[in-house]
Amino acid sequence: MAHTLAELRALSPEALEQEHDRHAKTSIEGLAYIRDEIVRRDTEAQANRIEKMTSQMRWVTGAITVLTIANTAAVIWALRCP
């Protein structure tokens, strides 16, 4: 039985793998769409992790910029006031 994309997306990762294994025991054809759904989910999860890491890097970069400006100001102030 072929599943619709909506049905595949509604399945949990474990259920999707079980469905793949069940089909693999009885047929070779028709498994590509299940594997494609697994790959799509993995790709989406990886993209979400990269997006989160990018956001964290943005905050760190901002913090480093503020600290660099503060350090530069402190050095200039220290050089002007002996």
Rounded Cα distance, 32 and 58, in Å? 38
pTM of the model: 0.56
Q: Which pLDDT belongs to residue 29?
A: 59
Q: Which pLDDT belongs to residue 70?
A: 97
Count H helices and E strands in the chain, helices first.
3, 0
Residue 2 has pLDDT above 70, yes or no: no
Tokens, residue 17: 């793998």
Domain boundaries, the chain: 5-80
More confident residue, 25 or 45: 45
Q: Which residues, other chains included, contact 2 with Cβ-Cβ below 8 Å and sequence gap of 6+?
A: 30, 33
